[in-house]
Amino acid sequence: MTHDQAGLLRLNAAPAPGDGTVNTRRASPKLAEKVASDIEREILAAGWPVGAIIGSEKELLDKHGVSRAVLREAIRLLEHHMIATTRSGPGGGLIVTAPDPDVVTGSVALFLEYQHATPPLIFEARKALELVAVEMTARRIDEAKIHELRDLVRREQDPGSYPQTSRHWHIAVAEMSGNPAIALFATSLVRLTDETVTQIRANRPSDPVGVHIAHAKITEAIIAGDIGLARHRTLRHLEAIEAFITDGWPPATPLPRVTPAQTPPL
């Protein structure tokens, strides 16, 4: 990133009128939220330039005309939501960051657990999302995606890679749809149901060979652009996963709690 790019948000900032003195009053939660919201809108307006410097503490204090306590509370909110973070030293300040997808999908899964989402409800949504994802991926398939899908299917042949590669396959298909909303929520549901499968698997053997065959057949239908066949095979595969879960998990019982970063990177 060039010096001009790094200072993009700093250059767009107009200092607030005043003598620059810092108000030492206690942080107001509502005022801190407003400052955080103003900074968030500034980042969005700039196109969310990851790594760009929003400003030093002094510059932000001058611009927003708040106390140091309010600004630091606003920064804490921004860091909590993975929008920006502070960096000390020369050239430091408040820096734009990229949200961590593992934390985001983990939070969605936790919220569904809090809402007492049961397996039938989870799979009702998961089937709808993954069927759309498979269709969109089949329409947008290219050589790079073909290579990635076939590589995932090939890796599933290694017994030691199960069940991680199985989970990765579902997430990869959702991401290949080209729709970030579908990818986000499909990944969250995959993570949530996978935790249940992991618990059940400890007491009842699963069928990694059958899963591999299902993924291989769906993959070839996607590559062939046969949307109807890809959707049909996907639905049958998801119904088999649902049956495996509901046979070993009370349907009226919410799925178990998941933890962030549970899904290893591809």
Asked if the structure places residue 87 within a domain, the reply is yes
Within 13 Å, how many C-alpha atoms sit on residue 127's CB side? Answer: 16
pLDDT band at 27 (very low <50, low <70, confident <90, very high): low
pLDDT tens per residue across span 116-139: 888 888 899 999 999 999 999 999
Q: Is it the case that residue 263 has pLDDT exceeding 70?
A: no
Domain limits for position 135: 101-248
| Whether residue 143 sits in one domain with residue 158 | yes
Least confident of 64-68, 95-99, 198-202: 198-202
Query: What does the CA dihedral 110, 115, 118, 124 come to, rounded to 10 degrees?
Result: -90
Count: domains in the chain: 2
What sign does the CA torsion over 83, 111, 255, 185 have? negative
| Whether residue 51 sits in one domain with residue 121 | no
DSSP label at residue 84: E
Share of the chain above pLDDT 70, in %: 79
Asked if the structure places residue 59 within a domain, the reply is yes
Mean predicted lDDT score pLDDT of the chain: 82
Asked if the structure places residue 263 within a domain, the reply is no
Determine the average pLDDT of the residues in 141-165.
89
In angstroms, the CA 43 to CA 65 distance is 19
First to last CA, the chain: 26
